[in-house]
Amino acid sequence: MRFSGTESSALPGLLALDGSSGATGIAIGLETPSAQPLPLNQASDKLLLQAGSTNIALKAYVQGEPDALRNQRIERGPFSAVATFNLEYE
């Protein structure tokens, strides 16, 4: 399993916001329910699939960029980002 998209230059492994976003100074991270990071553009550990339906639970979070936090320059506003979800079967 892998999520691909535009990576934040300030927070490698996290998803950068789209250019149309009003918010600044943040990036979006993905993780498992047990808080294991799912870095962007990297394959995750293998998952075992069960017969029938399989649910893959994920969490997203917002993290402030180090410079934006240090200089108190996080701007509020609407934001969006796009990640592509890829699965490979073996």
The tally of domains found in the chain comes to 1
The tokens describing 63, both together, are: 């993290």
Q: Which CATH number fits the domain that encloses residue 4? A: 2.60.40.1090
Range of the domain at 5: 1-90
- 58-69 tens-digit pLDDT: 999 999 999 999
- 24-49 tens-digit pLDDT: 999 999 999 999 999 999 998 887 77
pTM of the full structure = 0.88
Distance (Å, whole) CA 23 – CA 42: 26
Residue-level pLDDT at 64: 98
Distance (Å, whole) CA 60 – CA 32: 9
